[in-house]
Amino acid sequence: MIVKNGAASIARCLASVHGIADRITIGDTGSTDDTLQIARSFGANIVSVPWQDDFAAARNAVLEHATCDWILFLDADEMLDPAAATKIMSLIADPSVFGYDVTTWNYVLDAGFRASGEQARANPALTPETADYPAYFPSSNTRLFRRDPRIYFEHCVHETVADRIDTLHLPRRTADFVIHHFGYVEDAAVCRSQKENLYYSLALKKVLESPNSFEAILGAGIAELDHAKQAANALPYFEKAVALSPCHPGGWVYAGICLTRLGRYDEALKHIHRAINLEPANVLANSTLGDIYLQIADGKNARAAYERAIQLGDVSPLSQAKLGAAEVNLGHGESGMARLDAALRQSPGNAELYDIYATAAFLAGRPADACEAANQRLSMKGVTAFHFFLAATLHVHAHMRQEAEAILHAGIRRFPEDAEIRKMMTSLSA
C-alpha cells in the first residue's frame, strides 16, 4: 500500500489482513502523524516514496520491494471483508490465473450519491464497521495479482495492473469478495476537497499522456462534469469517448447528461436511448431519461423512466423526488407530493431537492410550501441568480409582494449584473 497521514484508519486496514498477508510493505509519501508507528506495530516494512503526482509510480516503487508470490493492494481508508480470508486462499491456488478483479464498496452518507456512472445502492451492512452508512457505490479494479516483473501499475490516476495483464494475454478473473472503502464518509470536508482537486488535475494529466484511451477520455470528462461542473467543457470528451468505443454505454450516457444540462433535449434523448439499447439495465441512463422527459414536460414518460430506474436499484431520494414531480405534472398532486415530502425528510441537505419541491408544490396548489422550499434553497450552497428569481416569482403568485421585493433586493446585492432580477424588480415597482 501507499499512504500519507493515515493514522485514523490504518490500524483497521492492517488488522483486516491479519492471517492473510505474509508480508506488509507500505510506501510512505510524507506522513507527519502516527501512521508509521502504527504500521510498524503490525510488523510492516516501510519504504519512503517521494510523491510525484503519479499514483502508478508510487505503487510501482513499493512493488519493487515485494517478495511474496501474490500481491494484494489496499489503501489506509479501506478494509478487507472478513469473508475474504478463505476465498483468497482458494483463488491463489489456481495456477492458471494471474490477476483477480475485486469489487470495492465505497460508502456514502447520501443514497443519492453518484460516481463514475454508478448510482449508490442500499447498504446491506456486511460488517459492524459499515453498519452506520446508508449506501455505497461499487467500483472494480485488479487488486489481487501474481508478482511478476512484467506486471506493474500504469496511469497517474485510477492506476491499475489490468492493462498490463491484458496486454500480456494473461488470464484475469473476477474475485468473489469485497473491499470496504470509508474515505467518502470519514474524510473531513477539507481533506475530501483536496483529494477531489488532486484527482481532477491528475485526470486531465492522464488524458494528455493517453489521448486515445477510452478510460482516460471518459475520466477527464467526468472530472469536468462532476468536479468542475462544466457540462460544455465535458461534452467534447464524451463525444470522443463515443467515437473511440461506440459499443460502450458510458460515453453515450455522459454525453446525454451534458446535453440535458445544456438544454439540447432532442440530442440528449438520442444519446440516452443509444445507451439503453446497449445496456437496458443501466440505472444512470434510465434516470437521465426521466430527467429529459421531466424537462420537456412529458410526465408520462418521465414517470415510466424513473420507475424503471428505481426498479433497477436506484435508491436515491432525488429519483424518488423526481418521480413525485412527474406524478404532480400528471395531475396526481397528493401522491406526488407525498413522495417529495418523504425524499426531503430522507435527505434534507440535498439542495437540488428544494428546487424540485418548490416547483412541484406550486403546481400541486401548495403555494406556501413552495415559497418555504424556495426560501430554504436561498440559504444553501450553490445558489444562483435563478434561485432568487424563482423564489420571488413564487412569492408574487402567492400574493406575498413585500416578501418578493425583499428577495429581489437580496438577489441584486448578490448578483448585481443579473438582468432578469432587475427586470422583475422594475416590473414590481411600476
Supply angle C-alpha 298, 300, 304, rounded to 5: 120
Where residue 24 falls among pLDDT bands split at 50, 70, 90? very high
pLDDT score recorded for residue 350: 87
pLDDT over threshold 80, residue 113: no
Cell 481532477, residue located: 200
Range of the domain at 159: 2-187
Residue 364: all three cell numbers together: 400541486
Where would I find the H helices in 385-418?
A: 385-397, 401-414
Residue 75 covered by a domain: yes
Q: How far apart are CA 168 and CA 76, in angstroms?
A: 30
Contacts of 282 (CB under 8 A, 6+ apart): 249, 253, 275, 276, 312
Instruction: Please answer whether residues 101 and 172 qualify as being in contact, where contact means their C-beta atoms are separated by less than 8 angstroms.
Output: yes
210 in any annotated domain: no
Domain end marker among 155, 187, 219: 187
**Could you tell me if residue 322 is inside a domain?**
no
| Residue 9 binned pLDDT confidence (cut-offs 50, 70, 90) | very high
Q: How confident is the model at residue 196 (pLDDT cuts 50, 70, 90)?
A: confident
Q: Which residues are within 8 A (CB) of 200 and not within 5 positions of it... i.e. 6 or more apart?
A: 223, 227, 228
Q: Calculate the alpha carbon distances from 181 to 62, 138, 387 in Å.
A: 21, 10, 36
Q: Which of 245, 186, 185, 184 is nearest to 218 (CA)?
A: 245
Asked if residue 219 has pLDDT above 80, the reply is yes
Flag whether 208 is in a domain: no
* CATH number of the domain to which 156 belongs: 3.90.550.10
**Average pLDDT in the chain:** 93
Residue 7 cell numbers, joined: 493514522
3-state secondary structure of 142: strand
Compute the half-sphere exposure of residue 231: CA atoms within 13 Å on the CB side of its CA.
13
Q: Let me know if residue 134 belongs to a domain.
A: yes
Q: Which tens digits make up the pLDDT trace of 332-372? A: 999 999 999 999 998 888 899 999 999 999 999 999 999 99
Residue pLDDT, tens place only, 118-135: 677 889 999 999 999 988
Contact 143, 159 (CB under 8 A): no
Position 117 scores a pLDDT of: 59
Listed residues 146, 164, 187: the one ending a domain: 187
Note whether residue 140 is domain-resident. yes
Last residue of a domain, one of 133, 156, 187: 187
**First vs last C-alpha separation in the chain:** 68
Predicted structure pTM score: 0.77
Q: Does residue 326 lie in a domain region?
A: no
Assigned domain for 192 exists: no
User: How many structural domains compose the chain?
Assistant: 2
pLDDT reported for residue 74: 97
